[in-house]
Amino acid sequence: MNRLVNGFLLVAGALLPCVAVSSSLPAVSGKWQCVPESRPAQEQTWVTYDFKPDGTMSSQEWVRYQGEQQTQLEFNLFIDYRYIANDEDYMLKPVKLSREIIVDPNNSNPFDYAARRDLTGYRIFFKPTLQGDDKAQFDMWYHITPNQHFTMQCKRQTVA
């Protein structure tokens, strides 16, 4: 189970940080539904980002890990960010984190105090590439691993 939790922290860290916007990039404002371009076979996940014109962004991440033909861990993660322009890239700084554990049969407790502290200490950089009005690709990386990028494929969500 420790491998699962360690994998969760890496994946959650990779997924938490998904997008950023500033007033100089209004085309990305609004809500986006994103999935990682690659992920482990035992993982299902999606992330929704809501970029606001006041320099904040809210995200909701859903993750499920399957193993041994059952769910090993399933949760929702909610993170509020401040974002700023950093040359041609953008930086996300987590300011608030909450979670909802849906299934955790092994009591792995992936959201203990140390894990939350580590997650909120991340700085995430990203560069959006728009692919029309309602599709985008977000190239992302952490401040501690700037050469290890990950890609999110995103679709703009319409408000009904």
pLDDT, mean of residues 142-154: 90
Average pLDDT, the chain: 80
Cα-Cα end-to-end distance for the chain: 41
| 3-state SS record for 23-88 | CCCHHHCEEEEEEECCCCCCEEEEEEEEECCCCEEEEEEEEEEEECCEEEEEEEEEEEEEEEEECC
Per-residue pLDDT for 18 more than 60? no
Range of the domain at 49: 2-156
CATH of the domain at 99: 2.40.128
Give me the pLDDT at residue 16, please.
Answer: 37
Q: At what angle do helices 113-120 and 2-15 cross, to 10 degrees?
A: 30
* 88-119 tens-digit pLDDT: 778 889 998 888 999 999 888 777 766 666 66
Task: Report the pLDDT value the prediction gives residue 84, as an integer from 0 to 100.
Answer: 83
Pairing of the two strands 145-156 and 135-142: antiparallel
Tally of domains within the chain: 1
H-assigned helices in 76-127: 113-120
Residue with the larger pLDDT of the pair 126 and 25: 126
pTM, 2 dp: 0.76
Residue that the structure tokens 């999606």 belong to: 46
